[in-house]
Amino acid sequence: MNGEWGIRNVERHVNRSSIPHSALRIPHLLWLLWSCGPGVPFGKVQFGAIETRGVVDEDYLKAQLVPLEPRFEACYARALRRNHASEGVVRLSIKGGGGRLVPTVVENSTRDDGLTGCVTQAIAALSIVEREGTGPWDFTADWSVEFAIARLKTSGS
């Protein structure tokens, strides 16, 4: 089956001499554009600074948070499919220790509970390996993540 199937199907039921072939393509194209609807915007995720208190190797912790970026991007892509205008900052408080992170949402300017639920699940599912020689980790951290719609830069900006 090729991409012209819909047009050929219409052509079978229409007198070819009365409607030019190019005119048959226009309604099909308009239907296709209408049925697809507006596109989902592309979003970007940016980690804010992490501030820790307690026993933790902060640099070692930050390196282990890197795998969260694609997970957060997936969370945000789902949020944008639900709400094309969703964006903002999620501020988190994290309790860490024993190889686990327990996140709590402190502030959510996105107002998207589905997004924050996905983000906190991703954090809680991340296994943390404590660096040997530093003792057992027991810490709290404040962290923010910005979710923004990617926009084209205009010539004036």
DSSP secondary structure letters along 138-150: EEEEEEEEEEEE-
* Contacts (Cβ under 8 Å, ≥6 apart) of 118: 74, 75, 78, 79
Please choose, from the candidates 96, 101, 109, 99, the residue with its C-alpha nearest in 3D space to the C-alpha of residue 139: 96
Contacts of residue 19, defined as CB under 8 A and 6 or more positions apart, other chains included, come to none
Q: For 40-50, how does the pLDDT look when each residue is reduced to its tens digit (9 = 90+)? A: 788 999 999 99
Domain chopping of the chain, boundaries: 5-36, 43-149
pLDDT tens, residue by residue, 23-33: 445 555 444 44
Q: What percent of the chain has pLDDT over 90?
A: 62
CATH of segment(s) 43-149: 2.170.120
